[in-house]
Chains A and B, each alone.
Chain A
């Protein structure tokens, strides 16, 4: 069945780049998403990429998609303390069926 996998934790020093990785299983996915969840809050869409794209950049965020390997990554440049959150990878299968990963908790070291 459909599945989205991501590592559960990542620690990064302030000012360094963070790279959060995700793999998915369904090759028919149309869109892939990155969401951010801050403590006690709902999910906020950070960025998304259409499945026929390889890369998307938006300010400090860079999304890379390797469709052959079904691998998605989110790079956050110049990581700040405000980037501390849980990051969810998600894929859209069809209509509004969306599969989320378990989330990667990003911890910023001073």
Chain B
């Protein structure tokens, strides 16, 4: 089944404790993105990647890192999480020739 998976789905952590949210897709898509969704703010793009080893900042990259060492994986790294990074995070991927983005199920992160 074609899908985008994220882990963990739920995470509660404390300020300053490094964490990684994994994202994996099995569709051989070139493009992958990370978004955060906050009430009243909609979805905002954090980082995106056009292919292996090619990443670029979205609208709200501060406090986040990403890497794209393999085509299928696009982890989101929070080196020192802060409470303002409490949010619902979505990973998405798409094929370079099509316009449909496939979204993962979301990761709800709470930083205390």
User: Does A102 make an interface contact (CB < 8 A)?
Assistant: yes
Q: How far is the CB of A102 from chain B (nearest CB, A)?
A: 4
B-chain residues with CB within 8 Å of residue A96 when the two chains form the complex = 31, 33, 48-50, 94
Whether A43 and B58, one on each chain, are in contact in the complex, defined by CB atoms closer than 8 angstroms, is no
Q: SS class of chain A's interface: helix, strand, loop or mixed?
A: strand
Q: Identify B42's interface contact among A48, A92, A97, A102, CB under 8 A.
A: A102
Q: Which segment of B14-22, B62-70, B96-104 sits at the interface?
A: B96-104
Chain B residue total in the interface (Cβ 8 A): 25
Whether B99 and A42, one on each chain, are in contact in the complex, defined by CB atoms closer than 8 angstroms, is no
User: Does B11 make an interface contact (CB < 8 A)?
Assistant: no
Whether B106 and A42, one on each chain, are in contact in the complex, defined by CB atoms closer than 8 angstroms, is yes
Whether B33 and A100, one on each chain, are in contact in the complex, defined by CB atoms closer than 8 angstroms, is no
A-chain residues with CB within 8 Å of residue B43 when the two chains form the complex = 43, 88, 90, 100, 103
User: Does A12 make an interface contact (CB < 8 A)?
Assistant: no
User: Does B1 make an interface contact (CB < 8 A)?
Assistant: no
Q: A92 to B105: give the CA distance in the assembly, Å.
A: 22
B-chain residues with CB within 8 Å of residue A88 when the two chains form the complex = 42-43
Whether B105 and A41, one on each chain, are in contact in the complex, defined by CB atoms closer than 8 angstroms, is yes
Whether B31 and A42, one on each chain, are in contact in the complex, defined by CB atoms closer than 8 angstroms, is no
Whether B103 and A42, one on each chain, are in contact in the complex, defined by CB atoms closer than 8 angstroms, is yes
Which A residues between 61 and 110 are near B, CB-CB below 8 angstroms?
Answer: 88, 90, 92, 95-103
Q: A33 to B100: give the CA distance in the assembly, Å.
A: 9
Whether B42 and A31, one on each chain, are in contact in the complex, defined by CB atoms closer than 8 angstroms, is no
Q: Identify B59's interface contact among A42, A92, A99, CB under 8 A.
A: A99
Whether A102 and B99, one on each chain, are in contact in the complex, defined by CB atoms closer than 8 angstroms, is no
Given contacts A101-B42, A102-B41, contact A42 B90 (CB under 8 A): yes
Query: Would you give 18 A-B contacts (Cβ < 8 Å), ordered by A?
Result: A41-B106, A42-B90, A43-B103, A48-B100, A90-B43, A92-B99, A95-B48, A95-B56, A96-B48, A96-B94, A97-B48, A97-B56, A98-B33, A98-B101, A99-B45, A100-B35, A100-B44, A102-B40
B residues lining the A interface (CB < 8 Å): 31, 33, 35, 40-45, 48-50, 56, 58-59, 90, 92, 94, 99-101, 103-106
